[in-house]
Amino acid sequence: MKPTQNSFNRRSFLKATALAGGGVLFNISWVSARAVENNLIGQNEFLEFNTFIKITPDNRIQIMSPNPEGGQNVKTSMPMIVADELDADWENVVVIQADLDTKHFTRQFIGGSQAIHQGWKILRTAGASVRQMLKAAAALKWEVPISEISTSKGTLNHLKSGKSATYGEFASLAAVQKVPENVELKSTKEFKIIGTSVKNVEGENIVTGKPLFGIDTHKEGMKIAMIVHPPAFGMKLKSYNASPIKKMKGIVDVFDIKIFNDDYERTFFDTTTFNEVVAIVGDDTWTVMNAKKALKVTWEPFEAYSFKRNMFGRKSEFTVPAGLENTEDHESKMLEMAAKPGTIKRYDGDIEATFSKASKTIESTYMAPFLAHNCMEPMNFFADVREDKIEMIGPLQKPELTEQALSARLGVPLKKIDFKMTRLGGGYGRRSYAHWAIEAALISQKVKAPVKLFYTREDDMTSGIYRSTYLAKYRAALDENNQLVGLHLNTGGNPESPIYQNRFPAGAVDNYLAEDWEIPSNITTGSFRAPRSNFHAAAEQAFLDEVAEAAGKDPIDFRLELLEKAKRNPVGKNNEYESDRLAGVLKLVREKSNWDQLKKTGNLGVAAYFCHDTYAAVVIDTAIVEGQLQINKVLCAIDCGIVVNPDGAKNLAQGGIVDAIGNALFGELTFKEGVPEKSNFDQYRMIRMNEAPKTIEVYFVENNIDPTGMGEPTFPPVFGAIANSLYKATGKRFYKQPFMKHI
């Protein structure tokens, strides 16, 4: 074990409270050191706390899970970390989803694949501190040195005397022990739960169809609400005739709402596609859906407008342009921008001189379309707005930020708002922008009744928020020895740039220029799984394969040569990646895929990428059989540090791989006069079961590095790997997504 100092204020970090009837409640702030009052808590009051360990006389241990659960398995993995340092018996652990509690938490959200990474030490310290207090209680009772007390699977042991007791038996006495300022954390060799494949704590509930999701919410007296939004980006509400609809049986009300006030300073995730919509409220879903179809609404183009925005402290004025946009115009504008110099983001060496002296140059341009999230559970939220209290229930990725926005919109203090988090039926960015929660609250406030708002699939797919459309133009210069001596990247998008200028191969090329640009748009975009990386990696890794071929080198050998150069003699000082770790996943995936042998007969494509503090390499083997694409096998090597739950991590990797293949082959949303041309799954193509890889193998680099992200890092390299594999299978390069349109 190694000592770690409890740097938190003892009263804010851990509070032990005797429970009525015996036992103890340990209240632990996992992510925050905000102070909590040291008052006694009765047995029936513990739910007021958002983060704690509760030990009962029968040795049951409750661990609260503070972060939203959207399939990334944090509701299992985070409590595993606490339980391991606590030396608990996992069979006796009960995990409870916490409500939003900004008093005891910060970063109580999912995004950026950072939950385990950022909570690692704090979670471990929490469990270790409770274990130390239990040991102190046993030492006091048995009148022996605390150093002679050991723990194992929820029991306290004194080997010399043969005495043993459960945690529950000493819980009350532990409550009055001093909270330790320094605790011993386990070495990795001592882990008993971390590193094991604990089953998902919600697994049985999921497969048996228990009501876990926001859309399952039902309350007595609840009304059903839907919204009607403009049919095109660039349009706004002009007028509507609610009178005939209000006369329909079962319809409660029809009215328009404004989500954000004009003077509101929006934060990073206060994004809404259409700020003014029409709400329809009724007694049941079928009635409201029919009323929605019957409502006559008139829309009109809007003029360009601006609003204030606070991007985590960076304040700016954001302008939304007018106009009805078209996909053809997006593509032509991006090509036009890529033909001109962009904003220089990094410049090493001398690009112009290098290309003028090059023995060989390679140039390619890559494009990708807008993508829709298409979560299986459409957007929804329950709201009950009363004078004394506001109850909100639903799936959110950033509940704390949504609560702040709701407080500002309704003009009520945060303490009057109660957010309960449900399981997310899909997310990866889509549920970060929760304007529908505000819509639900405004509707409930107007009709003075509890309301469940939900979007139809068409609402969800045609109202944003999308992945931007992107373009990247690459140029490479090779010298007389076929060494890569120059690389020039000119990239951008509508409306954002995907650039990551300090990632590989930056630092491995003496002469390197990265520049970008952006095209304003009124089509609303936002986070998509592995934001920006999902395109940056696709273009970069496909181009590196093309350069390797021009240099007459094996694609993996070519990448490893560059990484060795970046290790021995790195160019520049801002390189984000570690050469050895990126090389490590390439070497592992080459070994596991039998690359050196099968590349001669198979259609193997490779890609490797670093994002979210994790390294991932992918090899994909495809074939064209009777004119149909067949994905035979995918192998993935990952360096994410210590793997908390191997099965859970493999599931995340496999899900990311299938998701990426589907988006690379089929994903595309186009626009005509501002109207999304696809509105449901009969038009927007998703990957089908028979199109998934026949085999997916996932391997982890074993090390003792603190864990990093897993939800997103396997997603980006798949795009490049499948493009490279398709080249082997078809003999032609793939420059434009979705790839199936060009096979």
pLDDT digits (tens, 9 = 90+) for 474-499: 999 999 999 999 999 999 999 999 99
Between 33-47, 87-101, 355-369, the lowest mean confidence (pLDDT) is in 33-47
Q: What is the pLDDT of residue 7?
A: 44
Both tokens of residue 396?
């959110």
Render pLDDT for 125-181 as a digit per residue (tens, 0 to 9). 888 988 999 999 999 999 999 999 999 999 999 999 999 999 988 888 887 788 788
Give residue 106's pLDDT band: very low, low, confident or very high (50, 70, 90): low
Residue 126 CA to residue 704 CA, distance in Å, equals 20
Q: What is the pLDDT of residue 362?
A: 98
* Backbone φ and ψ of 213, nearest 5°: -100, 160
Residue 47 clears pLDDT 70, i.e. is over it: no
Give residue 580's pLDDT band: very low, low, confident or very high (50, 70, 90): very high
Q: Please tell me whether residues 145 and 169 are part of one structural domain.
A: yes
Q: Is residue 459 part of a domain?
A: no
Q: Please tell me whether residues 392 and 423 are part of one structural domain.
A: yes
Taking alpha carbons only, the member of 498, 520, 530 closest to residue 429 is 530
Q: Is residue 123 part of a domain?
A: yes
Structurally, how many domains does the chain consist of? 3
The whole domain housing 662 covers 341-371+466-742
Give residue 32's pLDDT band: very low, low, confident or very high (50, 70, 90): very low
Taking alpha carbons only, the member of 370, 372, 396 closest to residue 383 is 396
Q: What is the pLDDT of residue 43?
A: 30
Q: Is residue 208 part of a domain?
A: no
CATH number, domain of 244, equals: 3.30.365.10
- Asked which of 454, 483, 501 is the last residue of a domain, the reply is 454
Q: Please tell me whether residues 443 and 475 are part of one structural domain.
A: no
Q: Please tell me whether residues 395 and 513 are part of one structural domain.
A: no
- Asked which of 401, 429, 454 is the last residue of a domain, the reply is 454
Global pTM reads 0.91
Q: Is residue 257 part of a domain?
A: yes
**Residue 13, class by beta-carbon neighbours within 10 Å (0-12 exposed, 13-18 middle, 19+ buried)?**
buried
Q: What is the pLDDT of residue 29?
A: 43
Residue 33 clears pLDDT 70, i.e. is over it: no
Distances (CA, A) of 17 to 34, 53, 147: 18, 11, 25
Q: What is the mean pLDDT of residues 506-529?
A: 97
Residue 255 CA to residue 273 CA, distance in Å, equals 19
Q: Please tell me whether residues 26 and 144 are part of one structural domain.
A: yes
Taking alpha carbons only, the member of 467, 435, 403, 68 closest to residue 270 is 435
Contact 331, 285 (CB under 8 A): no
Taking alpha carbons only, the member of 96, 24, 27, 102 closest to residue 65 is 96
Q: What is the percent of the chain with per-residue pLDDT over 90, rounded to a whole number?
A: 77
Q: Is residue 163 part of a domain?
A: yes
Q: Please tell me whether residues 621 and 542 are part of one structural domain.
A: yes
- Asked which of 395, 421, 454 is the last residue of a domain, the reply is 454
Residue 45 clears pLDDT 50, i.e. is over it: no
User: What single-letter amino acid sits at 630?
Assistant: Q
Render pLDDT for 408-422 as a digit per residue (tens, 0 to 9). 999 999 999 999 999
Residue 233 CA to residue 322 CA, distance in Å, equals 9
Contact 648, 115 (CB under 8 A): no
DSSP per position, 210-231:
-S-BGGG---TTPEEEEEE--S
Between 4-18, 38-52, 86-100, 267-281, the lowest mean confidence (pLDDT) is in 38-52
As beta bridge partners, residue 443 has none
Residue 193 CA to residue 523 CA, distance in Å, equals 46
Residue 107 clears pLDDT 90, i.e. is over it: no
Distances (CA, A) of 528 to 112, 318, 429, 469, 517: 10, 21, 5, 12, 20
Report whether the peptide linkage leading into residue 344 is cis, meaning its omega lies within 30 degrees of zero: no
Residue 435 CA to residue 579 CA, distance in Å, equals 41
DSSP per position, 329-351:
HHHHHHHHHHTS--EEEEEES-H
- 597 Cβ contact list (under 8 Å, min separation 6): none
The DSSP code for 595 is: H
User: What single-letter amino acid sits at 230?
Assistant: P
Q: Please tell me whether residues 648 and 599 are part of one structural domain.
A: yes
Q: Is residue 108 part of a domain?
A: yes
Q: Please tell me whether residues 139 and 227 are part of one structural domain.
A: no
Write down the H helix ranges in 489-578. 533-550, 555-568
Q: What is the pLDDT of residue 96?
A: 86
**Residue 230, class by beta-carbon neighbours within 10 Å (0-12 exposed, 13-18 middle, 19+ buried)?**
buried
Residue 110 clears pLDDT 90, i.e. is over it: no
The DSSP code for 740 is: G
Q: Please tell me whether residues 298 and 447 are part of one structural domain.
A: yes
Q: Is residue 507 part of a domain?
A: yes
Q: How many residues does the chain have?
A: 743
Render pLDDT for 301-319 as a digit per residue (tens, 0 to 9). 999 999 988 887 888 888 9
Q: What is the mean pLDDT of residues 357-363?
A: 98
Contact 10, 181 (CB under 8 A): yes
Q: Please tell me whether residues 284 and 136 are part of one structural domain.
A: no
Q: Is residue 184 part of a domain?
A: yes
Q: Please tell me whether residues 607 and 627 are part of one structural domain.
A: yes
Taking alpha carbons only, the member of 535, 493, 578 closest to residue 717 is 535
Taking alpha carbons only, the member of 585, 537, 595, 534 closest to residue 560 is 585
Q: What is the mean pLDDT of residues 343-357?
A: 98
Return the beta strands (E) in 386-464 as ranges: 390-394, 417-421, 451-454
Q: Please tell me whether residues 633 and 689 are part of one structural domain.
A: yes
Render pLDDT for 549-571 as a digit per residue (tens, 0 to 9). 999 999 999 999 999 999 999 99
